[in-house]
Structure 1
Amino acid sequence: MPGREPARFVVDAMLGDVARWLRLLGYDTLYSRAMKDWKLVSTAEETGRILVTRDRGLYWRARKRGLRAVYVEGDSTAERLAELAARAGVRLDPDPSRSRCPECNGVLKPVRDKEKLRGRVPPGALEAYDVFYVCTRCGRVYWEGSHWRNIRRVADEAKALAERIREARGGSVARRGAER
């Protein structure tokens, strides 16, 4: 929707893969394996983030406080992403130009001047690719290498699963709400 801020997330320690994926998909996502439940809830409350968890008790505590929360049940990454797409409207369209750093959540800045990256990127990648992305926070360098085929495959699988979830629930996210 034009003018609408993209969703922002805080993710519990059991879902590190989901946090990385949300960042790859361009979502501002807080994650730390050391973040305690009370801190997850207070962070969601203070920053207006959606809490994503595999902990039923944590999910219900957040909901009782009026927070947006998604309880994720899926075992595979694709299943988990599908649940987030169906319940929180997560866009499953990976695009490196919109991605955030999967490690630190920093904003990625495109770099086309390969000379600036010599010594920081393998020579083969430097030759093969024209656009690189540098994290403005941690300095890591990314590019759309062959692993992006797998990223797109998982996203496509998640899209199909999300559609099945929506059909099974009898409607759209907008009509049924973003939370479980």
Structure 2
Amino acid sequence: MDEQNKFIVDAMLGSLAKWLRLLGYDTLYSTSYNDAQIISIAARAKRIMVTSDKGLYRRAIKAGLRAVLLPESGVTESLARLASAGLIELRVDPSKSRCPLCNGVLKEVTDKNLVRGRVPPGALAKYSKFYVCTRCGHVYWEGGHWRNIRRIVEEAKLMSAQLAKEG
């Protein structure tokens, strides 16, 4: 994913921010950002602003920013709408994911000694590859939750194709 879109997501779309990070997109999100800060950051850092707030969206467009107004809906539909607009690719690759908690870059670790004591013993025994956030230190692995992540991404792909047909 070279030269890909970067996002800033408003406080009402925190779940979407985590999903964009899982998909590997550099995504800023904080419940402490006010509207003026979101617009300022989007302009300064050349980020696409994603919001479900019509007023914020209008202000961003008036300021000449790239912005997306999403209807209040679930994460699957939001991902589908971003994909059908050509802003994201719906592809899960844990080696390209970002930390859903802090947006940090994940580093692949295969030396179990580096994560011992930081993951449950069962995960340490079962998995050989881990991903450590270079910013907050959180450790991830491709456990059972990845099936759910992939399922939601597949549902979003189907929905995106349907949205594209509807034009």
Answer yes or no: same fold by TM over 0.5: yes
2:149 aligned with 1:151, yes or no?
A: yes
What residue in structure 1 maps to residue 78 of structure 2? Answer: 80
Scaled by the length of structure 2, what TM-score is found?
Answer: 0.97
The runs of at least 4 consecutive aligned structure 1 residues that moved more than 2 Å come to none
2:50 aligned with 1:49, yes or no?
A: no
CA contact (8 A) 1:74 1:83 kept: no
Structure 1 vs Structure 2 CA RMSD? 1.1
Q: CA deviation at 1:95?
A: 1.2
Structure 1: give runs of 5+ residues left out of the alignment: 170-180
Q: CA deviation at 1:74?
A: 4.6
Matches within 5 A, 1:94-109: 94-109=92-107
In structure 2, how many angstroms separate the alpha carbons of the residues matched to 1:68 and 1:118?
Answer: 43
Identity within the alignment, %: 57
In structure 2, how many angstroms separate the alpha carbons of the residues matched to 1:103 and 1:147?
Answer: 16
In structure 1, how many angstroms separate the alpha carbons of the residues matched to 2:40 and 2:166?
Answer: 33
Q: Secondary structure at the match of 1:46?
A: helix
What residue in structure 2 maps to residue 161 of structure 1? Answer: 159
Matches within 5 A, 1:167-178: 167-169=165-167
What residue in structure 1 maps to residue 114 of structure 2? Answer: 116
CA contact (8 A) 2:52 2:72 kept: no
Structure 2: give runs of 5+ residues left out of the alignment: none
The letter for the 2-side match of 1:144 is E
Q: Secondary structure at the match of 1:142?
A: strand
2:21 aligned with 1:9, yes or no?
A: no
